[in-house]
Amino acid sequence: MKHFNDFYMSQKERLFGYLLGRTGDYQLSKDIMQESFVKYIEHYGKAEPIPTLLFTICRNLLVDQSRKQRSEFEFDENLHSHDTGHEEYPFIREESRHVLKAILQLDKEEAYILSLVVGSNLTYNDIAKITKMSEANVKIKVHRSRIKLKELSQRGER
What is the rounded CA–CA span in Å between residue 103 and residue 18? 12
pLDDT recorded at residue 94: 64
**Residue 98 half-sphere exposure, CB side, CA atoms within 13 Å?**
16
Strands (E), 8-130: none
Q: How confident is the model at residue 81 (pLDDT cuts 50, 70, 90)?
A: very low
Express each pLDDT in 129-156 by its tens digit: 888 899 999 999 989 988 888 888 777 6
Express each pLDDT in 11-69 by its tens digit: 999 899 888 888 888 899 999 999 999 999 898 888 888 899 999 999 899 888 877 77
Q: How far apart are the first and last CA of the chain?
A: 50
Structural domains of the chain sorted by starting position, each given as residue range(s) with its CATH number in brackets:
1-70 (1.10.1740), 90-158 (1.10.10.10)
Q: What pTM was estimated for this model as a whole?
A: 0.58
